[in-house]
Amino acid sequence: MKLLEERIRKEGKALNETVLKVDSFINHQVDAEFMDALGRDFAEHFKDYGITKVFTIESSGIAPALMTAKHLDVPMVILKKQTSKILQGDVYQTNITSFTKGTSYELTLYKNYISPEDRILLIDDFLANGEAATGAGRLIGQAGATLAGIGILIEKSFQRGRKRLEDAGFYVYSQARIGRLAEGVIEFLPEDAPATE
């Protein structure tokens, strides 16, 4: 998606071979009009997928997920990151380990907000190793619902997330795909390039 690529070229900062900072419009300061445009693009892309709910993982996925839900006219649900297991039976939980941040948490969803008929679109800001998205897929599976599509703002195509999700049978659409990062260097891949890692 040209709009996102242009913004990353203008404001993104590649710190090294693995980390891209996009604090000025996604992760710290958020540009609402821009998020609305990204949400409209996701909604257009997934309009024929029978989506009943948009899911995201707190926190940076919330803004684009909300805009996508608005344009699809469906509810948005935030998967919470809890530090420990909740023992009551009214939640689904699964453990996620982030390689990028070296942390782990219990991804948590209250059972009231999902049913087996749901067709879920998962929206998230970054796709790196695919831990978070794979975990969201496990939670949705526990509920007997369908993860009908995954929409990502920035895919780091040199990491294994995309391939892992596709191998698990999930459909992934990324608005920007990054083939290589180095200090001061950001190289994009075309939308239809095969998953590399």
- Please state the closest distance from residue 69 (CB atom) to ligand G4P, in A: 17
Closest to ligand G4P by CB, 114 or 132: 132
Closest to ligand G4P by CB, 52 or 130: 130
Q: Which of 34, 40, 98, 166 binds ligand G4P (CB under 6 A)?
A: 98
Three-state SS sequence of 134-193: HHHHHHHHHCCCEEEEEEEEEEECCCCHHHHHHHCCCCEEEEEEEEEEECCEEEEECCCC
Among the listed ranges 2-10, 68-76, 97-105, 109-117, the one in contact with ligand G4P (CB under 6 A) is 97-105
Q: Which of 131, 145, 151, 172 binds ligand G4P (CB under 6 A)?
A: 131
Nearest to 30 by CA among 8, 63, 78: 63
> How many residues contact ligand G4P, by CB under 6 A?
23
Q: How many CB atoms lie within 10 A of CB 131?
A: 19
Closest to ligand G4P by CB, 100 or 196: 100
Q: Give me the sign of the Cα torsion angle 30, 127, 96, 80.
A: positive
Contact status: 21 vs ligand G4P (CB under 6 A): yes
> Which residues have C-beta within 8 Å of that of residue 192, sequence separation ≥ 6?
none
- Please state the closest distance from residue 33 (CB atom) to ligand G4P, in A: 20
DSSP code for 1: -
Q: Which of 25, 46, 126, 158 binds ligand G4P (CB under 6 A)?
A: 126
Closest to ligand G4P by CB, 74 or 96: 96
Q: Which residues bind ligand G4P (CB under 6 A)?
A: 19-22, 27, 57, 59-61, 98-101, 125-132, 156, 161
